[in-house]
Amino acid sequence: MDKKIKNTARTGFVAKGVVYGITGVLTFMAAFNMGGQKTGRLQVLEFLDKQTFGNILLILMGIGLIAYAIWRFIQSIKDPENIGTDTKGKAKRVAFFISGIIYLGLAVMAILRVVGSGGGSGSGSQAQKSSFLASETGLILIGIAGAGIVIAGIYQFIKAYRNDYTKKFDLSSLSEEKKRRSIKKTAEFGLSSRGVIFLIIGYFALKASFTSDPSKIKTTTEAFSFIQDSSYGAWLMGLVAAGLVAYAIYMFLMAKYRRFQG
């Protein structure tokens, strides 16, 4: 595989890791009243914007996320690692493309915050959005998205406990068995926590579709609130948040040890 493509992917892994790392740390702090806040992707951009040299941080984040989106589009369209065109291969490549769109959108939002156009849309635009989501077409799309997110959540658990992800790592380059075990445990914890968040968001999207109530759609931040409102909520939210930090570490390890085929 071309070295430029590999470097683009590694840059993207780092950027994605930073997003999940900030999400996990701030939410973990919020769980135990240590000054953080329940955080999703958009809140990560707000956090970076408030830091010293915030504009520079946002530009760097935007570039990194664009790199990740490009990598996903390359995986989807060019299939450099020969995922294939059978049913399973096509499903993966469609998922890669959707992932690319999501992270490209986040990258654009990061850059728009720098140029001063990152504020919320007007009330009229918001009303149009709500009206569309409440329509029959909108509710069907919400249901499809919800089902997809639930499947993605289940896949995170399958991926973690089948150790499928280890095929992407060049673990042979690590001489110490202890380091190899640490990578596996970190990946399992991170993927499982990500799976929990996906399942909660997907569940509420399906519920919104079936009850014809788009207001039931939840973001990552609201998913954390749902966890917090349960029994032992603070501890559970802290555990999931810690898992997202582990997922961030997993992304950083991917940036360093990812093995590319083709």
At residue 218, what are phi and psi to the nearest 5 degrees?
A: -115, 145
Tokens at 24, concatenated:
């996990």
**Confidence bin at 235 (pLDDT 50/70/90):** very high
**DSSP state at residue 169:** B
- Residue of 34, 33, 38, 28 lying closest to 222 (CA atoms): 38
Full-model pTM: 0.85
CB half-sphere exposure, 32, CA atoms < 13 A: 12
**Measured distance between the N- and C-terminal CA atoms of the chain, rounded to whole angstroms:** 5
Average pLDDT, the chain: 86
Query: What is the structure's pLDDT at 5?
Result: 93
Q: What is the pLDDT of residues 218-233, one digit of tens each?
A: 788 888 888 888 878 8
